[in-house]
């Protein structure tokens, strides 16, 4: 005898697993899309402060961003941030020094991606997401 609550829970779990599998499958593309958006931000930053002021690298399962400052005619690394793809979330972990933030990635019915700050349980626009990644690195002396 199958209980109705059990049938409902089985279906909910099947749906949850499918959504998670869809998100994991889209994670590499989401990382590339994020890289493109961050690259656009860094192009504006380097246009203002010099070509050596920042660099970005897309690596397998991660993005590395380094900000530099010119002192005594030489460029010195000022700050770094990494965005790491994490299948267990599924999503990204933003790591910069002791700062770490988990951002869940999901797929909407329209096949668009969504981003959710797990700590604050808040959905993020791409503008908010890129700010969470770059603000501390590029503008460490400016406060919110």
Per domain, the residue ranges of the chain are 28-138
Q: What is the pTM of this model?
A: 0.87
CA torsion sign, 82 to 83 to 87 to 91?
positive
In sequence order, what are the beta bridge partners of 54? Answer: 67
Q: Which two tokens stand for residue 83?
A: 């965005």
The answer on pLDDT for 28 being more than 90 is yes
User: What would the 3-class secondary structure string for 103-118 be?
Assistant: EEEEECCCCCEEEEEC
Q: CA neighbours within 13 Å on the CB side: how many for 124?
A: 24
pLDDT tens, position by position, 93-104: 999 989 999 999
What percentage of the chain exceeds 90 in pLDDT?
77
Q: Which two tokens stand for residue 50?
A: 């010099």
Can you give the pLDDT at residue 42? 97
Closest-CA residue to 37 (of 16, 58, 19, 22): 58
């Amino acid at each position: 005898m199958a209980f109705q609550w059990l049938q409902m829970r089985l279906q909910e779990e099947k749906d949850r697993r499918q959504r998670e599998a869809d998100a994991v499958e889209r994670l590499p593309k989401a990382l590339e899309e994020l890289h493109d958006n961050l690259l656009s931000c860094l192009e504006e930053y380097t246009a203002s402060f010099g070509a050596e002021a920042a660099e970005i690298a897309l690596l397998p399962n991660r993005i590395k961003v380094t900000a530099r400052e010119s002192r005594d005619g030489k460029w010195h690394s000022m700050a770094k941030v990494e965005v790491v793809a994490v299948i267990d979330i599924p999503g990204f972990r933003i790591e910069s020094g002791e700062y770490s933030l988990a951002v869940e990635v999901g797929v909407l019915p329209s096949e668009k991606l969504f981003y959710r700050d797990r700590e604050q349980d808040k959905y993020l626009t791409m503008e908010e997401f890129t700010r969470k990644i770059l603000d501390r690195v590029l503008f460490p002396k400016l406060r919110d």
